[in-house]
Structure formats: C-alpha cells, structure tokens
Amino acid sequence: VRENRRHLTIEVDPVGKAVVQARGLANRLPKPQEKAILNKWATASGLRHLIYI
C-alpha cells in the first residue's frame, strides 16, 4: 500500500460508531493489507468493525 494515496472508500455509521462498508476501486473488496490498516484506524478511532458489505 502506497502512502498518501486513496485506496478505499469507507462508510461509517456515526450513531453506531461502526465501519459498515469499505470498497476499493471498481467496487472491489479490500485487500488483506488494506483491511489490516483499516482495522488499526478503526480501533484507534474508537469504531467497531462490522462485516464489509
């Protein structure tokens, strides 16, 4: 994953404080390395991780 480059679009439910969806280019699912980074970010932000739809 290259720095300073967008890789995913993330949907966050502000009321439930949860990541509800994450998608890459052409609506693809996140790659394993992207998921790992997303999970670290979500944890640091106090968000729960839900299944990526």
Q: What is the pLDDT of residues 1-53, one digit of tens each?
A: 667 888 999 999 999 999 999 999 999 999 999 999 999 999 999 998 776 55
Q: Which amino acid is residue 14, in one-letter code? A: P
Q: Is residue 18 part of a domain?
A: yes
pLDDT at 13: 94
Q: Which two tokens stand for residue 34?
A: 């992207």
Q: Is residue 15 part of a domain?
A: yes
Which residue in the block uniquely carries the two structure tokens 């949860």?
18
Domain count, the chain: 1
Q: Is residue 14 part of a domain?
A: yes
The Cα 6–Cα 22 span in angstroms is 12
pLDDT at 52: 56
Contacts of residues 9-17 at CB distance under 8 Å and 24 or more positions apart, as own/partner, are 10/38, 12/47, 16/48, 17/46, 17/47, 17/48
- Its domain, for residue 45, covers 9-49
pLDDT at 6: 87
pLDDT at 28: 95
Q: Is residue 42 part of a domain?
A: yes
Q: Is residue 43 part of a domain?
A: yes
pLDDT at 27: 95
